[in-house]
Amino acid sequence: MTLLLESMSYGSWALHALVWLPLVGVGAVLASSEERAKTVAFWWSLAVFVLSLGLWWSFDPGSGAMQMASSVSWIEAWGVHYSLGVDGISLFMVLLTTFTTPLAILGSFHYIRKKERAFYALMLLLEMGVVGVFLATDLFLFYVFFELTLVPMYFIVGIWGGERRIYAAVKFFLYTALGSLLMLVAILYIYARAKAQLGFPSFAYMDLLRVPLTLQEQLWLFGAFALAFSIKVPLFPLHTWLPDAHVEAPTPGSVVLAAVLLKMGTYGFLRFLLPLFPGAAQHPTVVTVMLALGVAGIIYAAWVAAVQPDAKKLVAYTSVAHMGFVVIGIFALTLNGIQGGLVVMISHGISTGALFLLLGMLYERRHTRLIEDFGGLARVAPWLATAFVVTALASIGLPGTSGFVGEFLALLGTFESHPVMAVVASTGVIFAAYYMLPMVQKVFFNKLEKPENREMKDLDRRELTILTPMLALMIILGVFPTPILERMEPSVRVVLERVEAANPERELAGVAPGGSADTVELTLPALEAQPPETRVAADPVDEDTDDGNAQDGLEAADQD
Amino acid sequence: MVLDYSSNLHYFWALLPEFILCGWGMFILILGVSGKRDPRKGGDLAAEGPSQDLGLLTLVGVLAAALANGWLYGVTEAGQGLVTVDRFRLFANWIFLLSAVFGVVMSLTYVYRQRLQAGEFYSLTLFATAGMMMMASARDLMVIFLGLEVMSISVYALTAFNRRDRRSAEAGLKYFLLGAFSTGFFLYGLALVYGATGSTDIASIAWAVESGAAQRFLLVLGVGLLAVGFSFKVSAVPFHMWTPDVYEGAPTPVTAFMSVAVKAAAFVAFLRVFLVAFPGVYAEWYPIMWWLAALTMVVANVVAVAQTNVKRMLAYSSVAHAGYLMVALTAANEIAAAGLLFYLLVYAVMNMGAFAVVVVVGRQGEDSLQLEDYAGLGGKQPLLGIFLTIFLLSLAGFPGTGGFVGKIYLLQGAVDADLWYLSVILVLATVVSYYYYLRLAWYVWMREPLEDGQHDTLFIPLTTRVALAAGVALILLFGIFPSAAMDFARDSVATLVSAGTSMAGIVH
């Protein structure tokens, strides 16, 4: 397989194709007729998924660097590059996106009844934006894609959503935009510092990593970035847009929102927040605050979810809880914690995506989402019930499912560095059972009292096609997570080493300055595995001084 | 060709685009009153010949002026006169000419439908454009004043052009009174600066200010009054009071034209005067600009949220954009100056585009201007809806559109001058602006029409279709491949900034 891909020089064009093919698909959908739009969109997104599968084999699991990277000057005057790359962190996010999109599209065949062409075009546009977010290695490009995802989602919620769709869409848009615009100012600040320090303008991730920032600066910038990403995650108490958006969004919108859009926030934590501001990221106060908010989110969301009469809202709140696990995993700043966070991201994407699809199927049958309107469905729709129970168990993290691996690792990682937080957070796992299982019981078991429910149809072929790959993945990831973990590990280590290199306690512990400089040497080449041709071409004269500056800066950051 | 301004002929060549516009304007005027083309005959839209002919003929004049403007790129200057042919002026001219083209195209059907005097209407448009060009070309405060008056008086008349409409007449009067008032400020400031420095020539003023020969108190007072005069013209808060009423009352194509071109002309002259003549007193005028910028952004955006009339909302939006541009003036560095030019260019296209849709939805008249009138527009007229959405996203400064690149350009100027608070205010104001731009988008796409067949009778002339498509193409081009236009803007300010002696760094 690897050889086959190499013979096609897969690595040189795959990433570009993954970003731009969905856009071509938008054109294809718009060019097709209203009736055929959904089929075109489905096969198109499926083709993108098949294409993205090649990443699995052509990806080198031993390296933590950006792979298949390429960079073309885009806006030369500002040093903006169109540069893409993939590493162990983004690899799975991209696969999750390309995996979810065709299923979400397939899941909307019956749900979306008006303006179909526009809907499927927007879904593909959304896919393009999200894939772009995960692949961009230029901060400017990243920001463009990050914002670009807002527009299709705004219209998906606003046009095809429920009763209060406009309110939900606008709230979603303004919340996210507020955060990201403040991040834009922070980006421009780093850019200005980079221009002064490096001697040439650049938004490239690799260049910005070399910009020395004082702790004071790092804390401010961290705040701006963290706000933007935390709103997206969403981290308690910035989560209030999420239940509204989820409840009002059409099923496929909810699926994509839960499965991939939320991940853009936690991905941003890992990709930008920790490596760019390592000093701030391991500042004790910052870590405590982030962990505390994560834990608060887990507990709070669980309690609120437990009292929801609306099943969709319940699942929306579980998203907040799950993302809380991701956040504590990341800010535990241990290998297990971050890897666990990443696995929760994947697992939550699949299981919550599947839950929203299942709720959508129930809604199509009964046109209600209230838990009390159901009951005893397992008798009339056994397949539907089975799928729902397995998904729910994966969601609450039963051993043997993907949810368990992620939450266990995240809690383990947190326990290694912050035992008290981990203990409190682990009660969240119990609460998860407390809100999810009664819901399952009320909907699928109990007595089959309502006459409307007696007629309920079981899953048809299309629905089985949607659910089978998702259920399979939940189990496979649960019993055999090693291939995923080993691909993540090198990249996660790079991030961790970068953060630890800025740890003030290391010096207190008697590590000689030379020692920390060694770590820096180890870290930087790993981060810069790709030869920076473009940069050299842009400014060959300054290359020497740049390195000197970067070195000085990192040491300065060490001493902070 | 080399110009040393030793004879009047040299001035003729240097002002060739202005001469062409004025001459052509008179030609149109004569054609218009020659009687054959009586617009009051009425009739259905299919037979709208005569007034359209005049409009198309006007475009020929604009095109000729554009050619002359392109020709001026090959001209070099050997001496200093009252005007200049530097790149800065020529770039600004492109903005005015582009706005004139859009403005005339939008008016073609409008003028006919509203039975306006086509000859006068189009010739006034040309005269106003010539005035703007003079403002951009001036190397002397007196020439700026002349251009300002030529432009303003033409636009006063255009505002009040629809005599049958009370709001138009009211707007014209209001604009005239406040405009005259602001001109007074400008003239008084000019006089004081002359008194302090002994010259109205921008370079001489700069030298007098720099060398300390100027009378400090008089100078600062004069600078302040000039700033007030310009602020009226660019409609910066708190000198914006006339803007919403005038923009709402004026015929929509005129509103579009003046919200873009008048503002651009005022900003271009504003920038040249303050960047070239007054860098020596930057410390004094910097806080004024700071507050004007901050107030304008905050007040305009917040008030725009409360508007239900689309024209009025766009009026406040245009005030808000003046605020963003004021940030560039506050920063007063090379990046900011280039950003200002680039933003003005993008703003001209996107605002004109949005107004062109307003003209169409307003049925080439002044009805259907409420938000509800846009409900369900996207369902019936998808392409028009998509175009309007793109213009709105660009006005909001959304990635992928020219408005985003422009805003980043302005922000970069601000960042370069360490204006952090102003940058944060700018982005927060932008978040507020998202709300009202999106609100129009949600009426267009997410609401059902008020009554069946509401949008079935919309008439979109072929010329408007072409202009809209071109506008969208330009907006996307500026948003996705902005390099060419950005470099062009940067090269255009290079001479200007080198003329403005030691800039910035005085405060920071």
- A75–B424: do the CB atoms touch at under 8 Å? no
Give pLDDT, residue A37.
Answer: 85
Distance separating alpha carbons of residues A18 and A94, to the nearest angstrom: 9
Is B482 within 8 Å of chain A by CB?
Answer: yes
Segment B345-386, tens digit of pLDDT: 999 999 999 999 999 888 777 777 888 888 888 888 888 999
For residue A524, the surrounding DSSP H or E stretch is: helix A513-527
Give pLDDT, residue A363.
Answer: 87
State the virtual CA torsion across A290, A292, A293, A296 in degrees, nearest 10.
160
Q: Which of residues 359-378 of A touch B (CB under 8 A)?
A: none
Distance separating alpha carbons of residues B341 and B485, to the nearest angstrom: 10
Give pLDDT, residue A508.
Answer: 42
Which of B400, B427, B482 lies closest to A181 in CB terms? B427
Q: What is the mean pLDDT of residues B490-504?
A: 66
Which of B398, B415, B431 lies closest to A188 in CB terms? B415
> Going by DSSP bridges, is the β-strand pair B2-3/B76-77 parallel, antiparallel, or unpaired?
parallel
- A158–B398: do the CB atoms touch at under 8 Å? no
Q: Which amino acid is residue A180, in one-letter code?
A: S
Distance separating alpha carbons of residues B429 and B411, to the nearest angstrom: 13
Q: Which amino acid is residue A532, in one-letter code?
A: P
Q: Which residues, 6+ apart, have CB-to-CB distance to B307 below 8 Å?
A: B313, B316, B436
Q: Which of residues 172-191 of A touch B (CB under 8 A)?
A: 173-174, 177-178, 181-182, 184-185, 188-189, 191
Distance separating alpha carbons of residues A39 and A44, to the nearest angstrom: 8
Is B416 within 8 Å of chain A by CB?
Answer: yes
Is B438 within 8 Å of chain A by CB?
Answer: yes
Three-state DSSP at B500 gives coil
Cis peptide before B238 (omega within 30 of 0): yes
More confident residue, B232 or A59: B232
Contacts of B405 in chain A (CB under 8 A): 75
Q: What is the mean pLDDT of residues B90-97?
A: 94
Which of B379, B399, B483 lies closest to A148 in CB terms? B399
- A170–B487: do the CB atoms touch at under 8 Å? no
Token readout for B315 is 């009026």
Give pLDDT, residue B405.
Answer: 93
The values of phi and psi at residue A445, to 5°, are: -115, -135
Distance separating alpha carbons of residues B482 and A82, to the nearest angstrom: 13
- A185–B400: do the CB atoms touch at under 8 Å? no
**What is the pTM assigned to this prediction?**
0.88
CA distance B269 to chain A (A): 26
10 Å Cβ neighbour count for A109?
16
More confident residue, B221 or A538: B221
- A185–B423: do the CB atoms touch at under 8 Å? yes
Three-state DSSP at A459 gives coil
Give pLDDT, residue B353.
Answer: 93
Question: Which residues of chain A carry a pLDDT beneath 70?
Answer: 503-560
Three-state DSSP at B460 gives coil
10 Å Cβ neighbour count for B124?
22
Contacts of A145 in chain B (CB under 8 A): 399
Is A44 within 8 Å of chain B by CB?
Answer: no
Q: What is the mean pLDDT of residues B100-104?
A: 93
Q: What is the mean pLDDT of chain B?
A: 87
Q: Which residue has the tokens 């230029």?
A: A138
- A170–B438: do the CB atoms touch at under 8 Å? yes
10 Å Cβ neighbour count for A8?
12
Token readout for A22 is 């969905």
Closest residue by Cα to residue A21 from A40, A53, A45: A45
Three-state DSSP at A285 gives helix
Q: Does the pLDDT at position B24 exceed 80?
A: yes
Q: What is the mean pLDDT of residues B39-59?
A: 61
Is B170 within 8 Å of chain A by CB?
Answer: no
Q: Which amino acid is residue B174, in one-letter code?
A: K
Nearest CA in chain A to B434: A174
Q: Which residue has the tokens 């201007």?
A: B369
Q: Which residue has the tokens 């393009």?
A: A128
Nearest CA in chain B to A175: B431
Cis peptide before A237 (omega within 30 of 0): yes
Closest residue by Cα to residue A122 from A242, A229, A41, A176: A41
Decide if A359 contacts A369 (C-beta within 8 A).
yes
Which of A75, A182, A191 lies closest to B483 in CB terms? A75
Distance separating alpha carbons of residues B160 and A263, to the nearest angstrom: 56
Angstrom CA distances, A479 to A398, A476, B35, B356, stand at 11, 5, 90, 61
Which of B404, B427, B446 lies closest to A165 in CB terms? B446
- A185–B411: do the CB atoms touch at under 8 Å? yes
CA distance A136 to chain B (A): 15
Is A132 within 8 Å of chain B by CB?
Answer: no
Q: Does the pLDDT at position B500 exceed 70?
A: no
Q: Kindly give the residue spans of alpha helices, DSSP state H, lying in B34-86.
A: 49-72
Q: Which residues, 6+ apart, have CB-to-CB distance to B185 below 8 Å?
A: B225, B226, B228, B229, B232
Predicted confidence band of residue B36 (pLDDT cuts 50, 70, 90): low
Give pLDDT, residue A504.
Answer: 58
Distance separating alpha carbons of residues B14 and B73, to the nearest angstrom: 11
Give pLDDT, residue A60.
Answer: 83
Distance separating alpha carbons of residues B86 and B82, to the nearest angstrom: 12
Q: Which residues, 6+ apart, have CB-to-CB distance to A321 below 8 Å?
A: A297, A298, A301, A302, A305, A428, A431, A432
Segment B307-325, tens digit of pLDDT: 989 999 999 999 999 999 9
Which of B400, B411, B445 lies closest to A158 in CB terms? B445
Q: Kindly give the residue spans of alpha helices, DSSP state H, lying in B198-272.
A: 202-211, 216-234, 242-249, 252-257, 263-272
One DSSP character per residue, B349-368 reads HHHHHHHHHHHHHTTTTT--
CA distance B446 to chain A (A): 5
- B487–A144: do the CB atoms touch at under 8 Å? no
Contacts of A143 in chain B (CB under 8 A): 399
Distance separating alpha carbons of residues A479 and A308, to the nearest angstrom: 32
Q: Which of A40-66 are b and which e, b meaning 16 or more Cβ less than 10 Å from the residue's Cβ?
A: bbbebbbebbebbebbbebbeeebbbb
Decide if A173 contacts A248 (C-beta within 8 A).
no
CA distance B379 to chain A (A): 8
Contacts of A141 in chain B (CB under 8 A): none
Give pLDDT, residue B51.
Answer: 59
Give pLDDT, residue A545.
Answer: 41
Contacts of A78 in chain B (CB under 8 A): 408, 412
Predicted confidence band of residue B194 (pLDDT cuts 50, 70, 90): very high
Nearest CA in chain A to B491: A77
Contacts of A166 in chain B (CB under 8 A): 442, 446
Q: What is the mean pLDDT of residues B139-145?
A: 92
Q: Which residues, 6+ apart, have CB-to-CB distance to A390 below 8 Å?
A: A401, A471, A474, A475
Segment A99-147, tens digit of pLDDT: 999 999 988 888 888 888 888 999 999 999 999 999 999 999 999 999 9
Which of A118, A166, A192 lies closest to B442 in CB terms? A166
Token readout for B488 is 């062009």
Decide if A409 contacts A339 (C-beta within 8 A).
yes
Token readout for A161 is 């959503």
